[in-house]
Structure 1
């Protein structure tokens, strides 16, 4: 992507977020004053009265809100992350007071502690007024990123993910960041991005750190040194990469991912011809959706596009028994469309049971077309199988 295209994309995303945002003066009991905030509601919020949505809180909202909100809205549109609330806190006049660290103790000054409590006040207000899921992300840059890290120093961690852009860590954070993260028990994501020439984190996040976290499935840590960026441009690249990292469990399945998982499973059972202990693809996708609910607080039914992806992959492997199971599952989730019954019919055809396949295809004929499969396609399958039965 050339520089002009990148700039045009960022301008479009910023305009999108700006046009959809709500502006609000927030009277804070903690600060004893009003603070200006911007709120981006999920675009389908009113259409889904039972659904809950993650919360993304953006510090430095006067310049970070638009790129974060626009990127979140864009990624959610393509189902690469759940639709989310984005709240930006304007700190144009108070940034340095909000983030001041005491040089003697190393901890935030009183005003900074109040600001941290104010952020939690914002969170609680959003929970009270909207359908907010129990998953909170904080996005911050340089000195606000340092302050946000102090949430990890508290006994009860009130956030689930941090996007830290070119952070300027104070000594206490440098010393305690990794130990504190490693003690977390719930699913947590910590993404930190720095410009290419910045080596300040080399001694904090090392290869030894990566190996420490490799054994802990609930902890997700990534240091992203982004090539070709400086302290100003790094944010434009870090925001989509950080959101992509944090919501990796949510994202749509692709066939390359299925192949990698299959190869890993097969490697564990090398030499075992029966491979009875292998985890099937259909079980993995159900576990994926269980994890989406557990991690992000988003309860959703299996996406049709994911069912199509695993069905195509399983069919390419001629794993007909599992294809039948996928067809049954698809019909349970989407009983009004013909896709599940059609896939079930393909599975029975594959294992050499044409009569059972015809029964499934006939059931499919009475349902609504979907995924490019028409009722004529179903009739063609039935006619071909009937001809084969007579031969």
Structure 2
């Protein structure tokens, strides 16, 4: 029953994308011929004249466009990736010529080189005609996946993310892929999805990437063997997984990841404090009061150096703008996730900072002053918390905080202040 439901859902979104697609005959100067392309515009494109969108180029668009467009539409609806333009290139009659490799040189033949240039010509046209960011994803399957990998072998790589579905790599690509990936200075994502029984076992990724990619946060390379799939069905999972991998930093903040990081941080701090206490006991007989005072200062300084989750939130959105080319307001759901994390950890100073940041981003909403009030209550400054709640009462409800919630909290704090 579950499989039927998921299949029906996938078919629904594929049909939706199909119905929204624009069909266009593209006259290419490079190929000196016309090519058929399909274009899916983001849902919000006409409603948001200032918003920009990444570009997803789909090779084998005659059969891969609909599943890719459906996944982009679905994942962006749930904010797992940004809304994006999807462009599918029809290759039904020409794929073997377009993707042909000259096995004497190991490079794409003359036709293949021109086709690669044509795809960048198409990319340039999309950026001129629409509000498309430079961040570009390219998706291919078997021989077209191999062809797209050759962009990494060029001096200037105009592609930021590669989704490779059951690739059939030529020897030149296989021998140079990981090394060329390691040469990249920009943020680059390379996802390979293969059937469980594929001949490409991924060892040429695993044995080299550890040494080349260590300390390189801009390099992201992943190979997955997808269970219960064959060379036809593998595309269904690989497209979705590849898109999420390519836009992993865009997705909403994971509360579980925050708690995991918080627990690890607590363990590290506890260990450091235990070591310092042992050192102080060992040296207690020899040190004077001034030395003890200096140690306390150092300990206090270390406590303040803990990672700020509010700064993490700000850095996330800075990354989204700089890498994906998307300017966006802080999502309320991300703010709420951070607030829940801070409340459970009783980190009231950070809660005040989060509330202040929220008020700057959403001055019309009650949520910012409300979070600041929680922080000031936590550090014992009740009068300041009451002032902020009075301010919140005059603003619009958001994130589940209504005027009733504000009034209830005011009554509690006023009673506490009287007592």
What's the TM-score bracket when you normalise by the shorter of the two chains? over 0.9
Output the TM-score relative to the length of structure 1. 0.97
- CA-based RMSD of the aligned residues comes to 1.3
Higher Cα Rg: structure 1 or 2? 2
**Structure 1 position 211, deviation (Å):** 4.9
1:62 touches 1:90 (CA, 8 Å); kept in 2?
yes
User: CA–CA distance in 2 between the matches of 1:264 and 1:375?
Assistant: 38
Work out whether 1:293 is the aligned partner of 2:321: yes
For 1:266 and 1:119, locate their aligned partners in 2 and report how far apart those are by CA, in whole Å: 50
> Which residue is 2:20 aligned to?
20
Pick from 378, 381, 404: which aligns with 1:353?
Answer: 381
Cα deviation digits, residues 10-40 of structure 1 (max 9, x gap): 2112101101111100011111111100000
Tell me, in whole angstroms, the C-alpha distance in 2 between the residues paired with 1:171 and 1:312.
Answer: 51
Provide the C-alpha distance between the structure 2 equivalents of 1:114 and 1:257, rounded to a whole number of angstroms: 45
- Name the count of aligned residue pairs: 391
Name the SS for the 2:194 alignment partner: strand
Q: Are 1:78 and 2:106 an aligned pair?
A: no
Specify the SS of the correspondent of 2:102: coil
Q: Give 2:364's aligned residue.
A: 336
The verdict on how the C-alpha distance between 1:208 and 1:102 changes in structure 2, with shifts beyond 3 A counting, is closer
Give the whole-Å Cα distance in 1 for the aligned partners of 2:228 and 2:214: 28
Task: Tell whether the 8 Å contact from 1:266 to 1:278 is kept in structure 2 after alignment.
Answer: no
- 8 Å Cα contact 1:22/1:39 also seen in 2: yes
Q: Per-residue displacement from partner, 1:30-65 (whole Å, max 9, x unpaired)? A: 111111000001100111111111000000000100
Deviation at 1:217, TM superposition (A): 0.4
* 1:321 maps onto 2:333 in alignment: no
1:81-160 mapped onto 2 (5 Å cutoff)? 81-160=81-160
> By how many angstroms is 1:216 displaced?
0.9
8 Å CA contact 2:39–2:85 kept in 1: the answer is yes
For structure 1, the residue ranges without an aligned partner over 5 or more in a row are none
Cα-to-partner distance string for 1:165-211 (whole Å, 9 max, x where unaligned) = 00000010011101100000000000001100113243321244245
Superposed, 1:239-250 pairs within 5 Å as 239-250=239-250
User: 1:4 deviation in Å?
Assistant: 1.5
Partner of 2:174: 174
Q: Within 2, Cα distance between the matches of 1:167 and 1:384?
A: 63
Greater shift in the superposed pair: 356-365 or 369-378: 369-378
Aligned residue in 2 for 1:187:
187
For residues 85-105 of structure 1, give each alpha carbon's deviation from its aligned partner in whole angstroms, at most 9, with x where no partner exists. Answer: 000000000010101111211
Q: Which runs of 5+ in 2 are unaligned?
A: 274-298
Q: Secondary structure, in 3 states, of the residue corresponding to 1:47?
A: coil
Query: Distance in 2 between the 1:56 and 1:210 partners?
Result: 28
- CA–CA distance in structure 2, aligned partners of residues 13 and 374 of structure 1: 35
* TM superposition score normalised by structure 2: 0.91
Query: Equivalent residue for 1:387?
Result: 415
Which aligned runs of 4 or more in structure 1 are off by greater than 3 angstroms?
A: 263-270
Distance in 1 between the 2:409 and 2:418 partners?
Answer: 15
CA distance in 1, matches of 2:130, 2:161: 20
Deviation digits for residues 362-381 of structure 1, max 9, x if unmatched? 00011011122211221121
Alpha-carbon deviation of 1:2? 3.3
| Bigger mean CA offset, 35-44 vs 341-350 | 341-350
Q: Distance in 2 between matches of 1:267 and 1:31?
A: 61
For residues 377 and 241 of structure 1, the distance between their equivalents in structure 2, rounded to whole angstroms, comes to 40
Contact 2:179 2:212 in 1 (8 A): no
Q: Residue 165 of structure 2 contacts residue 194 of structure 2 at CA under 8 Å; is this kept in 1?
A: yes
Contact 2:178 2:208 in 1 (8 A): no
Q: 1:54 to 1:261 in 2, by over 3 A?
A: same
Q: Would you tell me which structure has more helix in proportion to its own residues? A: 2
Q: Give the Cα separation in 1 of the matches to 2:407 and 2:267.
A: 41
Distance 1:179 1:375 in 2: 58
- 1:206 aligned counterpart, secondary structure: helix
